[in-house]
Amino acid sequence: MSRVGVLVLGPAGVGKTTFTNSIITYLHTVGRTAHIVNLDPAAEPSEYEFSIDIRELISLEDATDAMKLGPNGGLIYCFEFLLKNLDWLDEVLGDYDDEYLIFDCPGQIELYTHIPVLPSIVKHLKEAHNMSMCATYLLQAPYVVDISKYFSATLSAMSAMMLLEVPHLNILSKVDLIQDRYSKQQIKRFLSPDTFLFNDQNEMFVNQRYVALTEAIVQLNQDFGMIEFLPLSAKDNDTIETIVSYIDDITQWAENQEPHEPKDEFELPEDE
């Protein structure tokens, strides 16, 4: 028995649910099946039905009403409740042997960058369910191309990578929204950032020490090769296909299925 678990992570509004639905649509078109595991206790109804839904155990409304908590405290309460009730998760997962499960997660990144709740759940999925896991961490292109946001965004991705300890893909979402501001070549350099890329933005810093700091952090990133992105544009099937091929390679889904090599080159969506 083997299961694949794809975690869809990232700050609020980066496109996690849209990406989850795009993967399901793509997999259906190539004759594969996948299921959505909704881990957002405040989720709205989505294009595809959730196969497993945390709201059947606890919803954000239950937590905020019963415990008199605000939305963030309520969300943390829901995850702690899930952690205490892993037998519920075991039971609902019991029906999904040999399946491809996509975990759509909430956008409150403290759940996977600051507190150990999601890492504990992920550890349980790996150990108790023999799940082959891959984390996808989405950051939206219109933010990441701004140098001051680039750092907080990439550091949050790195923090999740270190806390979760599962193979990790960084994804630059909503690439279509920057295609009229940047050439294909510039966008390719955002996917694998280098110091040269940010030189034209350094003038925004009055304090020259920030310029030096910027260059040092980008250099560190380059030296360790920690942050590279795969491009995503939700309506562009090629970007979805490439990301799925990487996930398949990481989770070795293809080993038990048809042979499937990951693509060598990133394919950027065509300019509008």
Ligand X SMILES: Nc1nc2c(ncn2[C@@H]2O[C@H](COP(=O)(O)OP(=O)(O)OP(=O)(O)O)[C@@H](O)[C@H]2O)c(=O)[nH]1
Which residues lie near ligand X (CB under 6 A)? Answer: 12-18, 107, 173-174, 176-177, 233-234
Shorter beta-carbon distance to ligand X: residue 13 or 71: 13
Q: Between the CA of residue 167 and those of 7, 122, 137, 249, 250, what are the distances in Å?
A: 10, 12, 11, 11, 7
Shorter beta-carbon distance to ligand X: residue 235 or 260: 235
Shorter beta-carbon distance to ligand X: residue 234 or 244: 234
Q: How far is the CB of 127 from ligand X (least distance, A)?
A: 28
Shorter beta-carbon distance to ligand X: residue 108 or 154: 108
Closest CA to 150 of 233, 87, 229, 264: 229
List, as one string, the DSSP characters of the chain. --EEEEEEE-STTSSHHHHHHHHHHHHHHTT---EEEE--TTPPP-SS--SEEGGGT--HHHHHHHHT--HHHHHHHHHHHHHHTHHHHHHHHTT-TT-EEEEE--S-THHHHTSSHHHHHHHHHHHHH-EEEEEEEEEEHHHHTSHHHHHHHHHHHHHHHHHH-S-EEEEEE-GGGGTTTS-HHHHHHHHS--HHHHGGGGGG-SSHHHHHHHHHHHHHHHHHT---EEE--TT-HHHHHHHHHHHHHHHTGGGGSS--PPPSSPPPPPP-
Shorter beta-carbon distance to ligand X: residue 159 or 222: 159
Q: How far is the CB of 205 from ligand X (least distance, A)?
A: 29
Shorter beta-carbon distance to ligand X: residue 136 or 173: 173
Q: How far is the CB of 230 from ligand X (least distance, A)?
A: 13
Q: How far is the CB of 175 from ligand X (least distance, A)?
A: 7
The answer to whether the beta carbons of residues 108 and 12 sit under 8 Å apart is yes
Q: How far is the CB of 260 from ligand X (least distance, A)?
A: 24
Q: How far is the CB of 40 from ligand X (least distance, A)?
A: 6
Q: How far is the CB of 22 from ligand X (least distance, A)?
A: 8
Shorter beta-carbon distance to ligand X: residue 97 or 267: 267
Return the residue nearest ligand X (CB atom). Answer: 107
